[in-house]
Chains A and B, each alone.
Chain A
Amino acid sequence: DGGITQSPKYLFRKEGQNVTLSCEQNLNHDAMYWYRQDPGQGLRLIYYSQIVNDFQKGDIAEGYSVSREKKESFPLTVTSAQKNPTAFYLCASSMVGNTIYFGEGSWLTVV
């Protein structure tokens, strides 16, 4: 099946730990995105990448890092510097300027 696969779906992290969320797409899309969804705040852009080996900060990049070594993969690392990491994280992809499609999301909880 074509689509965007995020893993894990649920993740628990201890304070002070870094965690990495995986995002893979087989849609041959050039652009990939990471959003964070919090109740009542909509979706906020963390990072996006329009091409392999290049990425840009979104509106809330502090405490996060990404890499884009392959076209189909865009992992997000939530570092210990992120002060409020508990949230629902959505990965998305698109052809540049076109409709953006979303994965099913990953729930991260800090314990």
Chain B
Amino acid sequence: AQSVSQHNHHVILSEAASLELGCNYSYGGTVNLFWYVQYPGQHLQLLLKYFSGDPLVKGIKGFEAEFIKSKFSFNLRKPSVQWSDTAEYFCAVITYGNNRLAFGKGNQVVVIP
């Protein structure tokens, strides 16, 4: 079964700092990749996704992610964070022919005003 790794579970940074969250997966075949966000007290929302095409994907709220197939990675970035980006971020992977969406353990991001 595929696995998803997210490092640095807790990230604390100041407003206007840049954010990068790493995501690596273990499956060698074709994958669909996702980043979900969970704001405090809210349900999981889709931030962005990659199915095919341009490996640089832009999502909502200024987030982007880059799929690097050779590194089995799908890192999330935002050039300048805001206090409202405080949330937990989850990377997820689904493989072709298998509808099990596997999640990483999440990154708890706290942005200090």
Question: Residues of A with Cβ closer than 8 Å to B?
Answer: 31, 33, 35, 40-45, 48, 50, 58-59, 90, 92, 94, 96-97, 99-105
User: Which listed segment binds A: B14-22, B70-78, B95-103?
Assistant: B95-103
Taking CB atoms, residues of chain A closer than 8 Å to B101 are 33, 45, 92, 94, 100
Additional 12 contacts, C-beta under 8 A, given A42-B105, A104-B43: A42-B90, A42-B104, A43-B103, A45-B100, A48-B100, A90-B43, A96-B99, A99-B34, A100-B34, A102-B36, A102-B43, A105-B43
Given known contacts A40-B105, A102-B44, A31 and B100 CB-to-CB distance under 8 angstroms:
no
Report the bound CA distance from A97 to B104 in whole Å.
18
Interface size class on chain B is 20 to 34
B54-113 contacts to A, CB under 8 A, are: 90, 92, 94, 96, 99-106
- Interchain CB contact under 8 A, A97 and B94: yes
Report the bound CA distance from A100 to B101 in whole Å.
8
A-B contact count (CB 8 A): 50
Majority secondary structure of chain B interface residues (helix, strand, loop or mixed)? strand
Taking CB atoms, residues of chain B closer than 8 Å to A96 are 99
Of A35, A40, A90, the contact of B9 (CB 8 Å cutoff): A40
Which chain A residue has the least Cβ–Cβ distance from B106? A42
Report the bound CA distance from A41 to B105 in whole Å.
5
Report the bound CA distance from A103 to B92 in whole Å.
17
Taking CB atoms, residues of chain B closer than 8 Å to A44 are 103
Which chain A residue has the least Cβ–Cβ distance from B96? A97
